[in-house]
Structure 1
């Protein structure tokens, strides 16, 4: 009993300042993603009212935000290291609000395309993640990042439900107008709620340009980069076709929310046991492949579906697989990214994610207009199978976590050798000018106090496991 009590007592707890920072930053990220996602389930229906609208151009309007987001993702993050996180976040939200205003007032499809491109130009994701690092202690950072990740998943689900409901009341103008208001609210939160810490260099949170080039050549990461590219291409591409298919199945547009709501809830519940197996039983590769095959099966069957109950079942299967892969792929990347390179690897990964959204919208709309929805679904399903075959040739990830130890300025070769000899340590990296050592370790075998004692014999504890 006493051992259990001691374990609970020693468990890191978020301070009030950390709680405020995590809640406000998670809300900020979620509100921005909500604005980007709400148009997905309604663009192909409501967008037909725009001058010059075609399926190809509406698909481009859905996905164009991904192109500008991908191009600016890493530069905005590295710039925040120089001029501060908040200026980048506030500037990004102002650009996002401007894009929302342009899209809300647009009468033509090209106005919406310009507005959506500007929305993506407000690339604040990297700055938010870096600010989480600045505002939380090392031992609480994993909780903070998990909260951000959960807010993204929640925003996607809420967006699919809110989008059709808002479109019924005021069309695309209401959705984009509300998105702009949320962006202004985000600026107020940034100014008056989020604290003002000094920016701290942290290679596991921010990309480093020299390291980005190295990780672009890291072949072990590319199956995951391709996977997230494909997953987000699917996310946008299927909504080029699904709203129309639901209309054909007898579900009027204003009732689409009531179909998505139970499907998303059940898909989430069914996903949870598989995530537990992936992490606790260390079956990540098998779980990801299972999710991919579930998505492929759903897409191939969608090419032939015609009844409402078929669409409900297939959407449930698709969103189950999507949620499973969306949660698992970044975890896999975190496990295999080299010590001190996680931020750069994740920057590439996130850029590929947004490029996927752009490709899915632009190519999905073109395929839909040229060959129809059956070809779109069948082609997407075949691509997922091809990717699963590529991933099956990859090694299963070792379940390692990242650790950062402040050096206090110097570290000898003897100290590095001692760290490498510790149980559970598989990799040690000492980047120039960062003032820290980065390790990849097995959490079950690694003793952070031992490592901290080697780096700082005075006894100050510096480590974190993420």
Structure 2
């Protein structure tokens, strides 16, 4: 990548990180904080955590489409300002309902789609996949950082959970500064089939049964994760007598260890083409983890073992599910499919918070883990019907403009190249979106379609 692309990647990854860090910091501490509010109930505590996901899911696709019309930066800056407004309201709130409203407003600043589209606007086609991967990695790092920092920061009585909301405000302002000062403004904003949501492709993506199953999968694993964190902090503090300031001592080794163990599984899934088999195995491990927490949450050894198994499985599923979405989607609808997939993830957060809160109120801690086990079993039954994916690689090819005199002939000639499996041509961008079999690809024949200077 050239210096501009490194600058764009670092800046947009930082914008992602500062926004997501503040959100994840709330997750391990809010359930305990809610116990101190006079109008709190387990359901309202869950709703406060999950409502962010609902508004995020509702606004994500519309804001992505809006950024195609009025530009990426105005939408991203506007989304961060809305997020900042929600942070202020939540920080000043002394009732659950005001916090719920603040969290809902935070979620309305849904800038993931415009941010990815801006990255595509500012970078070359051949580097786009790598740049998207780097930006996506910041979400996982932000999750780990937020889960560790949240309990540490909230222990200070002068700061507490309201201080975390003030911190999210500061992070939003840092994000706005990065957009204005560090990120270049693209000369043209273009619809990108691989990185953006295209309205006309929504119906096609929603009729793909395999993609619907993947949407169900990401919905369920985030439902379960959110529901778990409605009760885990209270278990650590009340049943295991671990002060909340020391919860990071549980989270740090669990997250780091599970991440390290998940990496070989991810590599094995792709290199050995065992992604479907390992996905089913990880789902069963997730089911076992929920059952273990349901049966042994009063015993620290059982709880920590099940908690660790949960995050090994969760980290693997979180990493490979987007890869499966790309494999199951047609090459022309990949960006749209990923947008729907991401919205399903946030809807899962909402469902986990609201339903988990209701179940915690009625059946208590054990009920939450049993409920989570049941929905994971449902995902396993859904995943059994997934077809074996094809292990083709996505590639974006810059095309010689002189070849566009006959688009159909151009399409047919690209399809005739050994190793090319799918082709979608974007005439306005002078590029072709391809799925290729790297083992049989004729690179020289493919290079002949690029302009001489490429």
**TM-score category of the 2 structures, normalised to the smaller one:** over 0.9
Gap runs ≥5 in structure 1: 1-13, 462-466
Q: Which residue of structure 2 lines up, in the alignment, with residue 298 of structure 1?
A: 289
1:334–1:401 Cα contact (<8 Å) kept: no
**Residues 303-342 of structure 1: matches in 2 within 5 Å?**
303-305=294-296, 306-342=298-334
1:196 to 180, 185, 198: 185
Shift of 1:429: 2.6
Cα distance in 1, alignment partners of residues 337 and 309 from structure 2: 30
Per-residue CA deviations over 1:257-282 (Å, capped at 9, x if unaligned) read: 11111111111111111011011111
2:227 to 223, 237, 242: 237
Q: Which residue of structure 2 lines up, in the alignment, with residue 168 of structure 1?
A: 155
Q: Which residue of structure 2 lines up, in the alignment, with residue 258 of structure 1?
A: 249
Q: Which residue of structure 1 lines up, in the alignment, with residue 101 of structure 2?
A: 114
TM-score under structure 1 length normalisation: 0.92
Q: Which residue of structure 2 lines up, in the alignment, with residue 427 of structure 1?
A: 422
Q: Which residue of structure 1 lines up, in the alignment, with residue 407 of structure 2?
A: 412
Shift of 1:423: 1.5
Shift of 1:433: 5.8
Q: Which residue of structure 2 lines up, in the alignment, with residue 8 of structure 1?
A: none
Shift of 1:154: 0.6
2:292–2:303 Cα contact (<8 Å) kept: no
Cα distance in 2, alignment partners of residues 172 and 410 from structure 1: 61
Per-residue CA deviations over 1:122-155 (Å, capped at 9, x if unaligned) read: 0000011111111221121222111112110010
Shift of 1:435: 4.7
2:273 to 282, 286, 294: 282
Aligned pair 1:49/2:36, yes or no? yes
Question: Secondary structure of 1:38's partner?
Answer: helix
Cα distance in 1, alignment partners of residues 39 and 138 from structure 2: 36
Cα distance in 2, alignment partners of residues 410 and 323 from structure 1: 47
Shift of 1:213: 1.2
Per mean C-alpha deviation after superposition, the further-off stretch among 402-411 and 79-88 is 402-411
Aligned pair 1:394/2:407, yes or no? no
Shift of 1:291: 1.6
Q: Which residue of structure 2 lines up, in the alignment, with residue 439 of structure 1?
A: 434
Gap runs ≥5 in structure 2: none
1:268–1:323 Cα contact (<8 Å) kept: yes
2:83 to 96, 107, 111: 96
TM-score under structure 2 length normalisation: 0.95
Q: Which residue of structure 2 lines up, in the alignment, with residue 10 of structure 1?
A: none
Question: Secondary structure of 1:374's partner?
Answer: helix
Shift of 1:388: 1.4
Q: Which residue of structure 2 lines up, in the alignment, with residue 349 of structure 1?
A: 341
Aligned pair 1:81/2:72, yes or no? no
**Residues 371-390 of structure 1: matches in 2 within 5 Å?**
371-390=363-382
Q: Which residue of structure 1 lines up, in the alignment, with residue 200 of structure 2?
A: 210
Q: Which residue of structure 2 lines up, in the alignment, with residue 139 of structure 1?
A: 126
Q: Which residue of structure 1 lines up, in the alignment, with residue 452 of structure 2?
A: 459
Shift of 1:242: 0.8
**Cα gap change, 1:113/1:35 in structure 2, threshold over 3 Å: closer, same or farther?**
same
2:52–2:103 Cα contact (<8 Å) kept: yes
- CA-based RMSD of the aligned residues comes to 1.6
